[in-house]
Structures are given as C-alpha cells and as structure tokens.
Amino acid sequence: MRNPNGYGSVVKLSGKRRNPYMVKITTGWTDDGKQIIKPIGYYKTKQEANIALAEYNKNPYDLDKSNTTLKDLWELFKEKKLQKLSRSNQLCLTSVYNNHAKPLYNKLYRDIRSYDIQDIIDNTHLSYSTQGHIKNLFTHLDKLALETELIQVSYSTLITTDKTPESNRTIFSPDEIKRIKDNKGSKIYDVLLLLLYTGMRSSELFCLENKNIDLNEKTLVGGLKTESGKNRIIPIHPYILDIMKKYITEDKYFLNFITRNIFLYGFKKIFPNHTPHETRHTFRSRLDSAGANQRCMDLLMGHKSLGVGKRVYTHKTIEELRDTIELLE
C-alpha cells in the first residue's frame, strides 16, 4: 500500500552499506516542479526504516537551526532516541550530560567544535571511562544533529581520550570484607554485599529488574555487555537473601532505594583505593580459592569458556551453580 502524499518514503541504497535503507521526506518543490528531498535517517533493515518514518510523521522533528542549543538537542534526543538504548547506556549518557556537559548547555549546537568537547575532557582530570562516556554522548548527539541537518560535520569523531590503562585490580581483603559485613543494613554496604555475593557488575545490578528476582526459587536473572553475560541465572546466596527480601518492591528496578551516583560517591569515601568492579574480581578469587568448578564460575560471571558451549540452564545446572556460589563463606 502506498504512503499518503507528503508522508515520505523508504529507499534501499546501492552497494554494500551497514545501514542501506534511507528514510526521506519531501520538504518542498523547485520552480521547475522537482521535489526537494531531505534524508532523515539511515537504517539496517527496511522494518526499522518504516518504524522511523512512522515515528517521524507522528511527531516530526522541529528544530530551529539558528537557535538550537546543546540543551535543546538533548531534549529531542531524550524524546526520540534515549529510550531505545540499553538501561546501562541511558544511565551513563544521562549522568555525563548532567555532570559534565553544563559548560556547553546554552551554546548553539552548530557552533560546538571538537576543541570545546576536548576542553571538558582535558581540563577536569576525568577517568578514561568517563572520557569515553563523554565521547559516546556527543557521538549520539552528532548522529541526531546530522539526521536533522543541524550540522554537516560530526566533530565528535575528532575527540581523543586516554587509552584504557593496564589492569591493576586489587581484590578486597578478608578484613575489608569483614568491615562490609559488620555494616550490613546500611544501604552502601548492602549494595557491596550484593556485588560480592553475586559477582555482578555494578551496572548490571543497577539494571536488575524486580520481575527477574524469584525469592521462592532463590534465583535472579540479569546481566549485560556480552552474549554470554546477558540473562544469566545466579542463585541467591543465603547470606544476602534477607537483603533481597528487604528491598524488593513492585517498582521496575530492584535498586530503587539508591542511585548509582550516590552509591559511587559513598563507595569512594569508604574505599578510596578500590573500584566497584573489584568486587567482581574478589567474587571470582574467593570461589577459586574455595575450589569452585571452572565451568560454573564462567556461567556465574557470564564469561565465555570452552567448557560452557551452548548455555542451557537445566535444573541440574542451577543446582550446580547453587552449590558453587554457596562455597562462599
């Protein structure tokens, strides 16, 4: 069925392209009766392109190119794009925008250059990961700005960030773990105990949904980042079962009682020489010291290994994982 006049169309471009389907609309006509075409996006599949065209017609982008600031573009990005990203990516981009993009809020987006963004990265002594998140933010905004013809050049591609440093992980000592246990009941320490007894990344724990926690079966389903890590089953250790019961609610996300930023701030005050990711290394190290099965450790942490193969969680497998995780004292 043909689209109505003025609705726009989807065309497949020739050659090998990552996103071969172009969505275009007609913005006017020349004096000799030819259409003035404006592309509004490029997509991997025809279905994605048709959805984008329908969304555009439902609520067309309306940017005043002469007055659109970074703040204006961010609001459009939140409305059109942000919710389509992973929960973890949403949190990172929002945090970076709120905490590091303020100097450019009221600057016209078409006037922002790579050195403006680079100054934010270079002059605030940020970690390499935060630098990467800033670049990621402007990469997303540039894509939307290109799509709406707000800019012609993506300056985010010229940003440089520090290289990922060599890993220098330090696991938590027995005394530090005892200190955490002694403060059980405090929100920051409760989150730390959840990390130490599940092996989850902090980003995974903050994305954990209440619907994926089964207190009857004493399991949870979560995970991000890799195919091996997504939607993995983790038995709930008896030591943290009361914490799970304490905080589970009808809300969507489990950690609704604390934001990730507040947790990270509190964590740094308590353990300035550690990172939250080191709880994950501590989890594996403790299991390894207790003689845990390699295959089960890989399943619990979401690591790919030759021994795992196709991941199928049978009842036997879950019981094996439960026996493994209960090796932790």
pLDDT in tens, 236-276: 999 999 999 999 988 888 988 888 888 989 999 999 999 88
What average pLDDT does this structure show over 111-123?
87
Question: Is the pLDDT reported for residue 231 higher than 80?
Answer: no
> Cα separation of 231 and 86, whole Å?
14
What average pLDDT does this structure show over 135-149?
89
Structure confidence at residue 312 (pLDDT): 54
Q: How many CA atoms lie within 13 A of 313 on its CB side?
A: 17
Least confident of 12-16, 168-172, 315-319: 315-319
- Using CA atoms, how far residue 137 sits from 73, 134, 140, 234, 265, in Å, is 12, 5, 5, 32, 22
* Contact (CB, 8 A) for 144 and 72: no
* Contact (CB, 8 A) for 217 and 196: no
Band (pLDDT 50/70/90 cuts) for residue 35 is: confident
Q: Choose the most confident range, by mean pLDDT, from 3-12, 23-32, 264-273.
A: 264-273
Burial of residue 232 (CB within 10 Å: 0-12, 13-18, 19+) is buried
In 3D space, the residue among 289, 268, 288, 121 whose CA is nearest the CA of residue 298 turns out to be: 288
* Contact (CB, 8 A) for 136 and 93: yes
Question: Is the pLDDT reported for residue 230 higher than 70?
Answer: no
- Using CA atoms, how far residue 124 sits from 118, 137, 138, 201, 275, in Å, is 10, 17, 17, 26, 20
Q: Choose the most confident range, by mean pLDDT, from 34-43, 159-168, 267-276, 315-324.
A: 267-276
In 3D space, the residue among 52, 64, 65, 63 whose CA is nearest the CA of residue 7 turns out to be: 52
* Contact (CB, 8 A) for 126 and 166: no
Question: Is the pLDDT reported for residue 306 higher than 50?
Answer: no
pTM of this prediction exceeds 0.95 = no
**Residue partners of 237: CB distance under 8 A and separation at least 6:** 197, 198, 325, 326, 328
Band (pLDDT 50/70/90 cuts) for residue 195 is: very high
What average pLDDT does this structure show over 271-290?
90
**Residue type (1 letter), 233:** I
What stretch of H or E contains 26? strand 21-29
Band (pLDDT 50/70/90 cuts) for residue 91 is: confident
> Cα separation of 130 and 92, whole Å?
9
The pLDDT > 90 percentage for the chain reads 27
> Cα separation of 288 and 282, whole Å?
10
More confident residue, 7 or 174: 174
Question: Is the pLDDT reported for residue 53 higher than 50?
Answer: yes
* DSSP label at residue 84: G
> Cα separation of 203 and 198, whole Å?
13
Residues pairing with 235 in the sheet = 219
Question: Is the pLDDT reported for residue 47 higher than 60?
Answer: yes
Structure confidence at residue 236 (pLDDT): 93
**Residue type (1 letter), 275:** T
Structure confidence at residue 310 (pLDDT): 46
* Contact (CB, 8 A) for 253 and 208: yes
